[in-house]
């Protein structure tokens, strides 16, 4: 069955520290997509990144970077030099693809990141 | 384009009352979804639709009904609200080939 695990419930760091949020997934699909979303205190879901199962290249966007490893079924997210504005809940999600044809998302339970000034 | 909109943004109900949440999208997307978000549980799928006139159950469908009479609208109904339905509800839409769901801003529902 498809499953997404975010084992870290809450992380606190001091500003300018680097922090890595872990995401481990399970799927039977050979074609799937992985996502990270940010949910700031205002409550909306902000799309951060999409990665498909055929692209294992790491990606960097400013202070954000993502490490996708199919061998360990992980899609981890690192924030470099964290800032107070990074304080939010971060969700990892998996999209079912061709097997079901529904493109439903399976979300992890989220990691609350607190960046202290 | 407004994207995905949800009406209302906030609502307080008493136990046993009914209400309908409206999700609208102007992107001509085929697929639409309703999720609920509870503390420590992430987002869980309630119902979804793969096209106009079709709906299907998700992970937590009990106590909810849905309808998709028009392609752009996906309605979520609570016939007899219960305190366990206090949650934040998110709607999303998806276009085949986009490989990404587009989320609405959410509706915060409290059932007393």
Helix H, strand E, coil C: the string for A69-84 is EHHHCEEEEEECCCCH
Residues from chain A that touch B42, judged by Cβ atoms under 8 A, are 4, 6, 91, 107-110
Please give the Cα distance from A79 to A114 (Å, whole number).
12
Q: Which residues of chain A have pLDDT under 50?
A: none
pLDDT confidence of residue A31: 87
Residue B25 binned pLDDT confidence (cut-offs 50, 70, 90): very high
A90 contacts chain B (CB < 8 A): no
Which pLDDT does position B55 carry in this prediction? 96
Let me know the angle formed at the C-alpha of B47 by A27 and B2, rounded to the nearest 5 degrees: 100
Q: Is there a contact between A24 and A111 (Cβ–Cβ < 8 Å)?
A: no
Contacts of B35 in chain A (CB under 8 A): 105, 107
Chain A residue numbers touching B101 (CB-CB < 8 A): 95, 103, 105
Report pLDDT for A98: 63
pLDDT computed for residue B99 by the predictor? 81
pLDDT score recorded for residue B44: 96
pLDDT of residue B98: 75
Contact B93, B33 (CB under 8 A): yes
């Amino acid at each position: 069955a498809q499953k997404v695990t975010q084992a870290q419930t809450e992380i606190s760091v001091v500003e300018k520290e680097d922090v890595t949020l872990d995401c481990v997934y399970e799927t039977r699909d050979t074609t799937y997509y992985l996502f990270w979303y940010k949910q700031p205190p205002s409550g909306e879901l902000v799309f951060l990144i999409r990665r498909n199962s055929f692209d294992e290249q790491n990606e960097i966007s400013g202070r954000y970077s993502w490490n996708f490893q199919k061998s360990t079924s992980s899609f981890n997210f690192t924030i470099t030099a964290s800032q107070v504005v990074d304080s939010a809940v971060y969700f990892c999600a998996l999209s079912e693809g061709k097997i079901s044809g529904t493109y439903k998302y399976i979300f992890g339970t989220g990691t609350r990141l607190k960046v202290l000034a | 384009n407004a994207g995905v909109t949800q009406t209302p943004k906030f609502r307080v109900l008493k136990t046993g009352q009914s209400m309908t949440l409206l999700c609208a999208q102007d992107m001509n997307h085929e697929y639409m979804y309703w999720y609920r978000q509870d503390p420590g549980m992430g987002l869980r799928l309630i119902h979804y639709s793969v096209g106009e006139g079709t709906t299907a159950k998700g992970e937590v469908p009990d106590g909810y009904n849905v309808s998709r009479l028009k392609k752009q609208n996906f309605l979520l109904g609570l016939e007899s609200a219960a305190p366990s339905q206090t949650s934040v509800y998110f709607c999303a839409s998806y276009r085949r080939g986009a490989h990404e769901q587009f989320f609405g801003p959410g509706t915060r529902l409290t059932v007393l």
